[in-house]
Structure 1
Amino acid sequence: MPVESDEELAEILDYETIAVVGCSNTPGKEAHEIPKYLRDHGYDVIPVNPFAEEIFGRAAYDSLADVEEEIDIVDVFRPSDEVAGIVDAAIERDDVKVVWTQLGIRDDDAAKNAEDAGLRVVQDKCMKVEHQRLKA
């Protein structure tokens, strides 16, 4: 079952390193503003976007497989039909603990695959909203 309880969400929000798949370099877009908020609140945000050289002054990676740093959370800003492939890439890594899909993004089959592989899953929730509600 995807994570729903405030206790579990707060625990997940204690992790520090977030790879943001679909991170945008366009101010005003949610895929830019929410990762910026997370950076501003002390998270290590790793942008994953094959169409960007850098975001927030940091090199952007083409894919999760290319990320050299350890990842705690994979935050997904891509359409629901791309979640399965992102989950597969997260499972391939041995460091990812959580797959989090932003508001309006969900794939129940991919979530089950992630959970079966030992990952925690948060679907259809905004990290910024949950952080403001539980941590700010």
Structure 2
Amino acid sequence: MAYEHPSRDRIKTILEQAGAIAVVGLTNNPDRPAYEVSEAMLHRGYRIIPVNPKGEDVLGQKGYASLKDIPESIDIVNVFRRAEHTPPIAEEAAAVGAKTLWLQLGIASEEAARIASESGMTVIMDRCIKVEDAVLRPNRK
């Protein structure tokens, strides 16, 4: 079965209900899209959890080396990694009970989408969470 984007109403609901957003690939490099997008989402009132191999803190937020190290439930796993790296991330997101797997603009993986969907997650691919939030929730913070 081919991937289909959730409806705009569904994406808006996901954003409205989002508590913790784990950002895979977020580091302290301000020139990277993950940094810019996460900074904007923080300013809009979202809770961002950096996930990077070093487990480094980013944007004043406690970082973790993997999703399984995060000691709270995760609503959205927002991925800034190349498509070929996303299936294992989808598996880990499923293992920790994340609700949504969000692959950023320019990233799509049918395999990751299948893994996430089969575990009950909503999947969003090739869309920027910052842009979607600004369009669907323009009056937020």
The residue that corresponds to 1:79 in the other structure is 82
The residue that corresponds to 1:20 in the other structure is 23
* CA separation of 1:51 and 1:130: change in aligned 2, threshold 3 A: same
3-state SS, counterpart of residue 59 of structure 1: coil
Q: TM-score, normalised by structure 1?
A: 0.94
3-state SS, counterpart of residue 9 of structure 2: helix
The CA deviation string for residues 102-122 of structure 1, in whole angstroms up to 9 with x for no partner, is 011111122012111100000
Q: Which runs of 5+ in 2 are unaligned?
A: none
Q: Which of the numbers 103, 120, 123 marks the counterpart of 2:122?
A: 120
Residue correspondences, number: 135
Q: CA–CA distance in 1 between the matches of 2:42 and 2:73? A: 16
Q: CA–CA distance in 1 between the matches of 2:60 and 2:112? A: 32
Q: CA–CA distance in 2 between the matches of 1:45 and 1:121? A: 19
* CA-atom RMSD in angstroms: 1.2
Percent identity between matched residues is: 39
Q: Which runs of 5+ in 1 are unaligned?
A: none
The residue that corresponds to 1:111 in the other structure is 113
**What's the CA shift for 1:99?**
0.2
**What's the CA shift for 1:23?**
0.7
3-state SS, counterpart of residue 3 of structure 1: coil
The CA deviation string for residues 47-96 of structure 1, in whole angstroms up to 9 with x for no partner, is 001135210122210011111121100000001001000000001112x1
Q: CA–CA distance in 1 between the matches of 2:87 and 2:56? A: 25
Q: TM-score, normalised by structure 2?
A: 0.91
Work out whether 1:101 is the aligned partner of 2:97.
no
4+ residue stretches of structure 1 with deviation over 2 A? 1-4
